[in-house]
Amino acid sequence: MAGPWWRKCPRLTTGCTATNILENLWHLKGRPVSFSASLLSRASCIPTPETRFQHKYLHIFLSRHQSRLLLPTLQSCCCRATHSDTKPKDPFTLAQKDLTSLYDDIKKELFVSKVELKSLCEYYFDGKGKAIRPMIVVLMARALNIHSNRAGDLLPGQRAIAMISEMIHTASLVHDDVIDGSDKRRGKRTINEVWGEKKAILAGDFILSAASMALARIGNITVVKVLSQVIEDLVRGEFMQLGSKENENERFKHYLEKTFKKTASLIANSCKAVSILVNSDPEVHEIAYQYGKNVGIAFQLVDDVLDFTSGASQLGKPTAADLKLGLATGPVLFACQQFPELHAMIMRRFASKGDVDRAWQYVLQSNGVQQTNYLAQHYCKEAIRQISRLRPSPERDALIRLTEMVLTRDK
Amino acid sequence: MFSPCWSRLSCVALSSRGGLRTLSLFSSSGSSNWSKVVSDAEKIVGYPTSFMSLRCLLSDELSNVAMHLRKLVGTQHPLLNTARGFVYDSKNNLQMRGLVVLLLSKAAGPSHAASDLLAQDMVSGIYPSQRNLAEITELIHTAFLVHRGIVNLKEWTDSDGPLKDMQFGNKMAVLSGDFLLANACTGLAQLNNTKVVELISSAIGDLVQGVYYENSHNTEENGLTDGIDVAAWEEQTFLSHGALLAKSCQAAMELAKHDKESQRLAYKYGKHLSLGHKLNSDLQPFMKSRVGEPLSFSLSAAPVVFHRQIMGRETWHHQLQQAKTLRNQLDYSKLLAAVKSEKGVSTAMDLCCYHGNKALEAIQAFPSSEARSALENIASAVTKF
């Protein structure tokens, strides 16, 4: 069984630790190493004035330094923090306890008598998904709880929100597969492929209604409002994909807005929702929201890049699923600047014969992929900046690590 | 099962009670009677409900869909029919649910328990939250009408028209249905009552299950499996046609913080009215025939379902075969005659009266008022054919 993608990234060099990498970076800049190894390795360090200064310096350094170097070095150290006196910062491990029963609990919410409908609704809750959204929610909840002077443990409502976010996400996937006419997802045939479109739509509607009921049962109307907004955003995002914009400048803005609605809104608002349950400070809600939003956008940008790059090395031909659906994503939009021929193709949604292949070639010849990656890094930096305003905790650091993983995933 | 004689007698008795119309039970002026009842009711609640939330209809998204729908003209995609239904007034699209919710809200009167619900916020005796709920109910109902119109592409044949059109129609149907549902969800959140959110969300779940049952009956038309009995029919029809109204009526009471008993009665009214209305609708093709209209009816219509249950599997299968032409098409007039000759129709009519009465019983527990009378008239009207 394929594990989560972040487990695949250890391209470890032996004996590589975070400290070593940064030492190298510092030397490159001609500065002596002047900070302690504990800065990065200690999971729950209490910020002394010294470490705080170093932390700040580190961030300034990282943000000034071109990401070209940042990327490969982080790749090799992101999964291992081998210090015996600290808790592991691997997000998956930290969230593990809370997530083991997640899918079983979701299935309990899908209370329906007709056996076939039940199996349709449970189809994607088989534990094979990445569960990245619930993971973020759970980590954020714990980090916020600690920040708010409580024990790290999840409140029941926060747990429910983790479930609900995954349910809403799944319901939208089921409908998206019908809209896109997809026949495969997560290695299995889609619901519409097996049972037909009518039943697929009904299954999606049912999951949504179950999510809505679970949401109401938390008993907090503000949380209900925040997450209902997600449902609306998801649909509006899908509508945005129907139309193309004439103007080049408008197109990019449109793309980012659509990306927010379709991907980031769920993560941002789920994070905000868990913050509402534990803290009444609007600034804290904003931190949670902004982290979720920035990570979400970065996640989608990388996804859009992978649509171009992942097929290439393995199959030697494009996956290019987005192009085939007529969608112009980040890499294409950037590539337009170098290959104006792409404009016409975008307007006709790559419908002419040969458009998809030609567009793919143009993109790979351009710096569209790199530019999109840089943009994703920018959003991750912002996410880190935001989350760093919370009190230190293993979970907070895991969330920082998570942004790095978002950037370096290869599938 | 109930006694047919008893319920029919009580129906007749009701129609001659003072204050209600004294039309005979099975008058042929059914539809004009119905329109009058509805338009009188609309006046009572302050403005016509014959349009959905304009805000929703005029949104960019739905305008977009309307534009795209033009491409479907000339195809066989069901979405086109659904959309037509909104433009041309027809019996099915009178926004009945919304109207009933409004009337019930008015009939139940002002809140005695909630301090934040002020009398001055009431318009025509209805709180803004209750009006919004009525709209939301219609949104959900419409969303499912739209989602029902999705076709299974694997069952597509050449006679349906180009596959591309079916795919496109599906896309539009999914999106518009989802849009309506999403608006319903955000609308529900704005009502500031998590109990109501839970209740109406559960109604959406019921609708899904009901439509699921509908589909499985529609696909099984060769009469080779066992039919369902009255109790099962009622259960499934409640899910697809009754739960939404029943729970919305209850929710309207909850919004004004009326007591548990009012909520129960409102639920009861909504439930029985919906079932009676569905029976009435199913019975139309079996009543005095209208000259010139092409005859067709669904095999899942109540009279047919009951007839089938009474006749048993073998007889039913035989009757179906007898009613088929040389080209294996169904001769509806033959089948109609077969059904009418047995007890299916009368069973359905009795059941319709039964539910109409139950609805009346529920509403008469509320204090007398204009709104209550309108609801009584509506309940009576569903028992007239």
Question: Residue holding tokens 């085939």?
Answer: A324
In the predicted model, what is the mean pLDDT of chain A? 81
In a domain, B264, yes or no: yes
**In A181-263, where does DSSP find H-type helix?**
191-195, 197-218, 221-240, 248-259
pLDDT at B144: 94
* Same domain assignment for residues B181 and B247: no
Q: Which of A117-131, B170-184, B341-355 has the lowest mean pLDDT?
A: A117-131
Closest CA to B262 of B357, B171, B363: B363
Verify that B183 and B237 share a domain, yes or no.
no
Q: Where does the pLDDT of residue B323 fall: very low under 50, low under 70, confident under 90, or very high at 90 and above?
A: confident
Which percentage of chain B shows pLDDT scores above 90?
Answer: 44
Q: Which residues does chain B have within 8 Å of residue A205's beta carbon, measured at their own beta carbons? A: 147, 181, 204, 207-208
Statement: residue B313 has pLDDT above 80: yes
In angstroms, rounded to a whole number, what is the distance separating the alpha carbons of residues A323 and B325?
50
**Count of C-beta atoms within a 10 Å radius of residue B229:** 14
The pLDDT, as a whole number, for residue B319 is 87
Q: Domain for residue B240, yes or no?
A: yes
For residues B379 and B239, state if they share a domain: yes
| pLDDT above 50 (res A280) | yes
pLDDT tens readout for residues A60-112: 444 444 444 334 433 334 444 444 445 556 888 888 888 888 999 999 999 88
- The answer to whether position B3 is within a domain reads no
In a domain, B15, yes or no: no
Q: What is the pLDDT of residue A96?
A: 87
pLDDT by residue (tens digit) across A103-162?
999 999 998 888 999 999 999 998 887 889 999 999 999 999 999 988 888 999 999 999
- Looking at residue A77, its pLDDT comes to 40
Would B20 be classed as within a structural domain?
A: no
Mark whether B238 and B375 lie in a shared domain. Answer: yes
Domain check: are B67 and B144 in the same one? Answer: yes
For chain A, list the domains and their CATH numbers. Answer: 91-406 (1.10.600.10)
Of A112, A178, A196, the CB nearest to B209: A112
Contact assignment for B181 to A205 by CB distance below 8 Å? yes
* B320-341 residues labelled b (16+ CB within 10 A) or e (exposed): beebeeeeeeeeeeebbebbee
Q: What are phi and psi of A242, to 5 degrees?
A: -70, -35
Is B30 domain-assigned? Answer: no
Residues from chain A contacting residue B179 (CB–CB below 8 Å) = 235-236, 239
Structure tokens at A211: 């999510």
The CA distance from B266 to B279, in Å, is 20
- Residue B215 in any domain: the answer is no
DSSP character at residue B290: P
Residue B48 pLDDT exceeds 70: no
Interface contact flag, B211 A215, Cβ < 8 Å: no
> CA-based angle B100:B105:B106, to the nearest 5?
100
**C-alpha to C-alpha distance for A228 and A158, rounded to whole angstroms:** 16
Instruction: Give the C-alpha distances (Å, rounded to integers) separating A331 from A146, A286, A307, A365.
Output: 39, 30, 10, 11
Confidence (pLDDT) at B316: 87
- Count A/B contacts: CB-CB distance under 8 Å: 129
Supply the mean pLDDT for chain B. Answer: 82
User: ipTM of the predicted structure?
Assistant: 0.86
Query: Could you tell me if B236 and B377 lie in one domain?
Result: yes
CA angle, B63 then B68 then B69, to 5°: 95
B175 → closest Cβ in A114, A179, A224: A179
pLDDT at residue number B333 = 84
pLDDT bucket at B22, cuts 50 / 70 / 90: very low
- pLDDT tops 60 at residue A55: no
pLDDT digits (tens, 9 = 90+) for B102-131: 999 999 999 888 677 777 788 888 999 999
Same domain, B252 and B154: no
Q: Kindly tell me the sign of the dihedral angle through the C-alpha atoms of B250, B252, B253, B254.
A: positive
Put simply, whether A312 touches B (Cβ < 8 Å) is no
Residues B318, B178, single domain; the answer is no
> A303 falls in which pLDDT band (50, 70, 90)?
very high
Question: Number of structural domains, chain B?
Answer: 2
| Contacts with A172 (C-beta within 8 Å, 6 or more apart), sequence order | A204, A234
User: B169, B192, B215 — which closes off a domain?
Assistant: B192
B236 in the same domain as B146: no
Q: Please say if the pLDDT value at position A4 is more than 50.
A: no
Of B192, B207, B237, the last residue of a domain is: B192
- Give the CATH number for residue B370: 1.10.600.10
Q: What is the mean pLDDT of residues B264-282?
A: 96
Task: Choose the mutation target among A176, A209, A231 for the interface with B, i.e. most B CBs under 10 Å.
Answer: A209
B78: in domain:
yes
Q: Higher pLDDT residue, A108 or B292?
A: A108
Phi and psi dihedrals of A184, rounded to 5? -135, 140
Q: How far is CA A302 from the centre of its chain?
A: 9
Say whether both B64 and B187 belong to one domain.
yes
Distance from CA of A197 to the nearest CA of B (A): 5
| Statement to judge: residues B378 and B229 lie in one domain | yes
Residue that the structure tokens 């889609």 belong to = A190
- Confidence tier at B55 by pLDDT (50, 70, 90): low
Question: Does B188 lie in the same domain as B81?
Answer: yes
Do A43 and A87 meet the contact criterion of CB atoms below 8 Å apart? yes
Nearest-CB residue to A201 (from B174, B190, B201): B174
Pairwise pLDDT comparison (B312 vs B269), residue with the higher score? B269
Residue B86 pLDDT > 70: no
Which domain does B80 fall in, by range? Answer: 45-111+121-192
